[in-house]
């Protein structure tokens, strides 16, 4: 039970007369457990003792008259009316240290293998974002190693970006590339609600040994209880905060925020919240900024964050996509039509923006991108005409120019999975397109 700072609890029990009143399970309704006879706070971990005296961890999620509502951080199996419940006086923590490198953790931040994190600092899963006035401003570029991003959607160190895509258009592959090639000290990768097979695929295929060396993976697969999936996102953020406090350049990647929102919806509905937009409860929309505001700059280090958003049926206006777009400082859209043309990474440049780009890149770079965007958009408008041979060369200067440059621009945008371009080379490549 390393996610509870047991030393601290014991100390507190000795020092104060914190009343450890016992309670009993009254009812189990759906995913919730109603307990009589304890006093506890929201987020407090409680231990439930089953008939065999094994403990089941649970968390306080609400109240009902004088009773406390718990949700288990594991399976409900074995819980019956009359089981003993003991509040611990502690909220969830994750033990952080350099030992975490290369490790795969569960949603509560515990290593999935038998290894133990021997020493470390406990970081609270739920904390406040850095003080807005103490945050350093974003002024440096962070190179991701992916040309289309570094060239057209340059990200700043400490920026928070959404990656919007349907399933199977290359989210995991792109995140894997960023993990391998970006200039970061640490990658914290959080996989929420994926299938078990996808997690293995991602770790072995997309990250590989090279990517894993400076990475920490937190995963809460779809079969895990909603509360654990939710905690996974907070645990990963807390680990990223630990390294940021040490002055490190951290990249946090979360795949996906949509599944995080779905987990919160499940918890919300279970404790009786009313469903609002598309069945999402109001707490979902309160939770999203609370999670994502924690990334970014602090006075010590930085967390540059990439959050993926699933857009089912390529509906970019569904409520989660909408809410996330409003919170973040940029979005990268992956398009199925590009993927189907074998254009990878399938980034739809014209529909993507990095809101901070203009503040952090050189003028020449900005001018090149602005021209290239113009040409891409001109070409797109006339593409149908060009393809059926209806466009007569010479009838429009801009279209002629777009035809001249389109292959060159697409060659720049396409990138093989094992190909790494650093930021200087990306800027040079972009320059070279228009020199010819």
Ligand X SMILES: Nc1ncnc2c1ncn2[C@@H]1O[C@H](COP(=O)(O)OP(=O)(O)O)[C@@H](O)[C@H]1O
Q: What does the binding site for ligand X look like in residue numbers (CB under 6 A)?
A: 165, 167-173, 344-345, 417
List the single partner that 152 binds among ligand X, Mg ion, none, CB under 5 to 8 Å by kind.
none
Contact partner, 258, from ligand X, Mg ion, none, Cβ < 5-8 Å per class: none
Work out whether 32 is an interface residue with Mg ion (CB under 5 A): no
Q: Counting contacts by CB under 5 A, is residue 308 touching Mg ion?
A: no
Site for Mg ion in 115-174 (CB under 5 A): 171-172
Q: Report the DSSP beta bridge partners of residue 122.
A: 95
The distance of closest approach from Cβ of residue 174 to ligand X in the complex, given in angstroms and rounded to an integer, is 6
Does residue 303 contact residue 295 with C-beta atoms inside 8 Å?
yes
Instruction: Tell me the C-alpha distance between 195 and 241, whole Å.
Output: 27
Q: What is the dihedral of CA 340, 341, 344, 350, to 10 degrees?
A: -100
3-state secondary structure of 433: helix
Tokens of 335: 């398009």
User: Which residues touch 436 (CB under 8 Å, ≥6 apart)?
Assistant: 408
Nearest residue to Mg ion by CB is 172
Q: Which is nearer to Mg ion, 109 or 176 (CB)?
A: 176
Of 48 and 346, which has the nearer Cβ to ligand X? 346
Q: Is 88 in the site for Mg ion (CB under 5 A)?
A: no
- 169 binding partner (options Mg ion, ligand X, none; Cβ < 5 to 8 Å by kind): ligand X
CB 256 within 8 A of CB 308: yes
Pick what 242 binds: Mg ion, ligand X, none; C-beta below 5 to 8 Å, kind-dependent: none
Shortest Cβ distance from residue 194 to Mg ion (Å)? 7
* Least distance between ligand X and beta carbon 390 (Å): 32
Minimum distance from residue 314 beta carbon to ligand X (Å): 12
Cα-Cα-Cα-Cα torsion 258, 262, 265, 266, nearest 10 degrees, comes to -170
Number of amino acids touching Mg ion (CB under 5 A): 2
Cα 234 to Cα 101: distance, rounded to the nearest angstrom: 18
CB 346, min distance to ligand X, A:
7
SS3 303: strand
Residue whose C-alpha is closest to residue 125's, from 109, 102, 103, 101: 109
Binding site for Mg ion (CB under 5 A): 171-172
């Amino acid at each position: 039970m390393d996610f509870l700072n047991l030393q601290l609890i014991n100390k507190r029990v000795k020092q104060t007369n914190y009343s450890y009143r016992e309670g009993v399970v009254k009812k189990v309704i759906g995913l919730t457990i109603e307990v009589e006879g304890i006093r506890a706070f929201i987020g407090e971990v409680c231990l439930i003792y089953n008939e065999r005296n094994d403990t089941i961890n649970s968390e306080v999620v609400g109240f009902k008259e004088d009773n406390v509502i718990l949700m288990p951080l594991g399976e409900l199996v074995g819980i019956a009316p009359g089981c003993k419940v003991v509040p611990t006086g502690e909220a969830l923590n994750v033990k952080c240290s350099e030992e975490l490198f290369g490790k795969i953790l569960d949603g509560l931040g515990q290593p999935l293998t038998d290894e133990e994190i021997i020493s470390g600092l406990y970081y609270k899963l739920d904390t406040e974002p850095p003080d807005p006035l103490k945050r350093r401003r974003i002024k440096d570029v962070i190179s991701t190693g992916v040309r289309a991003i570094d060239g057209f959607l340059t990200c700043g160190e400490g920026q928070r970006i959404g990656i919007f895509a349907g399933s199977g258009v290359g989210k995991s592959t792109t995140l894997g590339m960023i993990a391998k090639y970006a200039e970061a000290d640490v990658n914290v990768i959080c996989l929420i609600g994926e299938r078990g097979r996808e997690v293995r695929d991602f770790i072995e295929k997309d990250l590989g040994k090279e990517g894993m060396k400076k990475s920490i993976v937190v995963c809460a697969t779809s079969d895990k209880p909603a509360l654990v999936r939710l905690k996974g996102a907070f645990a990963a953020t807390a680990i990223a905060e630990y390294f940021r406090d040490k002055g490190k350049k951290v990249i946090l990647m979360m795949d996906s925020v949509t599944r995080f929102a779905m987990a919160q919806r499940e918890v919300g509905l279970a404790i009786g919240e009313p469903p609002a937009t598309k069945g999402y409860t109001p707490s979902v929309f309160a939770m999203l900024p609370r999670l994502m505001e924690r990334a970014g700059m602090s006075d010590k280090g930085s967390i540059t964050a990439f959050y993926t958003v699933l857009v089912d049926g390529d509906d970019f206006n569904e409520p989660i996509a909408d809410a996330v777009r409003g919170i973040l400082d940029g979005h990268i859209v992956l398009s199925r039509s590009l993927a189907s043309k074998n254009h990878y990474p399938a980034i739809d440049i014209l529909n993507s923006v990095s809101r901070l780009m203009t503040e952090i890149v050189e003028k020449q770079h900005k001018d090149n991108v602005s021209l290239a965007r113009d040409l891409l958009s001109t070409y797109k408008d006339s593409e149908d005409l060009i393809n059926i041979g209806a466009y007569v060369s010479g009838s429009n200067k801009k279209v002629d120019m777009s035809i001249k440059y389109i292959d060159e621009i697409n060659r720049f945008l396409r990138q093989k999975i094992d190909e790494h371009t650093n930021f200087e080379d990306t800027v040079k490549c972009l320059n070279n397109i228009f020199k010819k």
